[in-house]
Structure 1
Amino acid sequence: MIIVLEALNLSTEYLNKKGVESARLNAELMLAHILNCKRLELYLMFDRPLDQTELTAYREFLARRANREPLQYILGEAEFYNIKLKVNRSVLIPRPETEILVERIIQDYSQKSEFKFLDIGIGSGNISIAILKNISFASGVGIDVSDDALNIAKSNAENNFVSERLKTIHIDILKDDVMSLGKFDAIISNPPYVSSGDFEKLEPELKVYEPQIALTDFYNGLTFYRKIVSVADKLLNENGRVYFEIGKGQSGEIKTMMMNSGLDNISILKDYQGIDRIIAGDIK
């Protein structure tokens, strides 16, 4: 019979050998999920034995994590800006850095009387849902090329009670006509910005498991920025704004691209590592 403490110690050692970062935390979160308890509650049940069903499930989770499958996909959920989201391999796992983008938008629009935005590449819906949860009068349209991602976004919007204010549409921003979408106060996008060269250097959690079309443009990482700024003036209301999440080392080129397309008042925010991560600009 294996008790909780023994299971955690053995699994931590196993994950460490497999090169998994934060092995103990991963082990605890997976076991807490199986036991349907909070992680810290495990510390009050170290002597609790695991039954065969629980042990089998835990071993399956450990094998998947040892193969570097992201923890969030194993658990089927992720947290972002104090909301819980369903995730699977059809969508990117929301990152803490993207919360900086959401925070900036909330600061810019929470005191307005209305706010309608376009989320290009909605994915799991994390950005749109976080905004809608924090700005009660906001409404949004989210577009994506992936039907599977759109289904996840719809489900997450329903689970977080904002579905009535979020419309999701299948559109390929690079190929389809977007003029029929209407006008917006802001365009928001965390597009695929990893270059083809950098993609090959990614950790297995990213390169193997997360959707490639959400990570890379299979070129220089700038394809989607160039396309979006080229249509921004047609999609934005007067005094409209464009907000992007960007990759390391891209701020200079994207700022120039935005200025050449008629955007001004360009501002850049750094992430928690001091890297330029968010860029925003106004339509003239």
Structure 2
Amino acid sequence: MTIIETINRAAARLSAHKVDNARWDAELLLCHVLGRDPAWLLAHMQDRIDEQSLRLYERVIDRRAVREPLQYITGKQEFWGLPFKVTPDVLIPRPETEFVVEAALKAVSMTIAPVIIDVCTGSGCIAISLAKELLNAQVFATDRSEQALGIARENARMNQVADRIRFLFGDLFAPVKELDLRGKVDVIAANPPYIPMGDLAALQPEVRDFEPEMALIAGPQGTEIGTAIIEQAPAFLKKGGALIMEMGMGQTAGFSSIIKDTGDYKTIEIIKDLAGIERVLVARKA
């Protein structure tokens, strides 16, 4: 069987299982199996595929057909132009989370050696991206999943910033309470769980059935963890320091009200993603 015939058959199967971008996934998965890039694949469509590669390819197509995310099959995802290892222990980094990184870089653009805390670090994509951009930054990253922290540490080593990030196990700010950071932090970045429990069943199978629930679901309202971050962050932020947090659709008003009610913040900025959804809030400590 030729490569083009193999791809056509796989794409038809994925389409029958309602996989979005079925042909693209079929091509990427064959690149993964063969250890080649898309340009090579395009130039060798009439080549025959060997039996061993074909069997391996059929197995990965089986996985994608049951809606396992492409990134968990290949074990990787790009974020901020950097490679990241991903497994079912961590949320797959999304493009919209890059707005958190952008806002954090803007917030410390005039700071020589910023101190940064990344809570709910997951794969470490935010902390690692910031450490890669800010050579003099002191970065702390926390997560309540030991498995996620293991992946984050691997990613830090792969991206050569492991010596500049301290990964800490625990819920939100609990791991940094004993450190001398109160009132000294320039940026607190967060991509916390923000999906209400009642919305879980309606999520895409790739998300609902494969990504870690503890990284998705915040509670009945979806704002529980974000609220805790808003309330606890001021103790660590320096005057003028920024809390930069990703949020879900429709959560702006609720979080803005909570921020104002604390009396600890002086300004609130809302950043929209490329789809026009209010995605990131930036709150400066008074």
TM beyond 0.5: yes
Structure 1: state its 5+ residue gaps. Answer: none
Contact 1:110 1:135 in 2 (8 A): no
User: Residues 258 and 264 of structure 1 are in contact (CA less than 8 Å); yes or no, is this contact kept in structure 2?
Assistant: no
Contact 2:107/2:187 (8 A) holds in 1: no
In the other structure, the counterpart of 1:264 is 266
Distance 1:186 1:180 in 2: 18
- 1:279 matched to which residue of 2? 281
Contact 2:30 2:57 in 1 (8 A): yes
What is the match of residue 4 of structure 1?
3
**Helix, strand or coil for the counterpart of 1:50?**
coil
The equivalent of 1:228 in structure 2 is 229
Tell me what 2:86 maps to: 87
Which has the larger displacement, 141-150 or 44-53? 44-53
* Match of residue 21 from structure 2: 22
Superposed displacement of residue 44, structure 1: 0.5
Moved more, 228-237 or 178-187: 178-187
Name the Cα RMSD after superposition. 1.3
The one-letter code sitting in structure 2 at the alignment partner of 1:259 is K
SS in 2 for 1:142: strand
Question: What is the deviation of 1:178?
Answer: 4.4
CA contact (8 A) 2:218 2:224 kept: yes
Match of 2:208 in 1: 207
Shift in Å, 1:177: 6.5
Counterparts in 2 of 1:56 and 1:8: CA distance versus 1, 3 Å: same
Q: Counterpart in 2 of 1:129?
A: 128
Which residue pairs with 1:241 in the alignment? Answer: 242
Q: 3-state DSSP class of the match of 1:217? A: strand
| Secondary structure at 1:169 match in 2 | strand
Map 1:1-284 to 2 at 5 A.
Answer: 2-173=1-172, 176=174, 178-181=176-179, 182=181, 183-261=184-262, 262-284=264-286
Q: How far, CA to CA, are the matches of 1:58 and 1:103 in structure 2?
A: 38
Deviates more, 1:39-48 or 1:119-128: 39-48
Q: Aligned partners of 2:29, 2:257: CA distance in 1, in Å? A: 45
Q: CA shift at 1:276, angstroms?
A: 0.3
Give the AA of the match of 1:273.
A
d(CA) in 1 for partners of 2:230, 2:99? 21
Aligned mates of 2:73, 2:215 — CA distance in 1: 19
The residue type paired with residue 192 of structure 2 is P
Structure 1 segments (4+ residues) deviating >6 Å: none
Cα separation, 1, equivalents of 2:220 and 2:208: 16
Q: Deviations over 1:7-60 (max 9, x none)?
A: 111111111111000011101110001111111220111122111211111001
Match of 2:280, as an amino acid?
Answer: I
Distance between the aligned counterparts of 1:244 and 1:218, measured in 2?
17
Query: What CA deviation, in whole Å up to 9, does each residue of 1:223-277 have, x standing for no partner?
Result: 1122112221211122211010000000110011112122121000101111100
The 3-state SS of whatever aligns with 1:265 is: strand
Does the CA-based 8 Å contact 2:169-2:175 persist in structure 1? no
Q: d(CA) in 1 for partners of 2:64 and 2:243?
A: 37
Tell me, in whole angstroms, the C-alpha distance in 2 between the residues paired with 1:178 and 1:38: 43
In structure 1, how many angstroms separate the alpha carbons of the residues matched to 2:109 and 2:31?
37
Structure 2 residue ranges without an equivalent (≥5)? none
Deviation at 1:184, TM superposition (A): 1.5
Distance, in Å, in 1 between the alignment partners of 2:256 and 2:123 is: 27
Q: CA deviation at 1:173?
A: 2.7
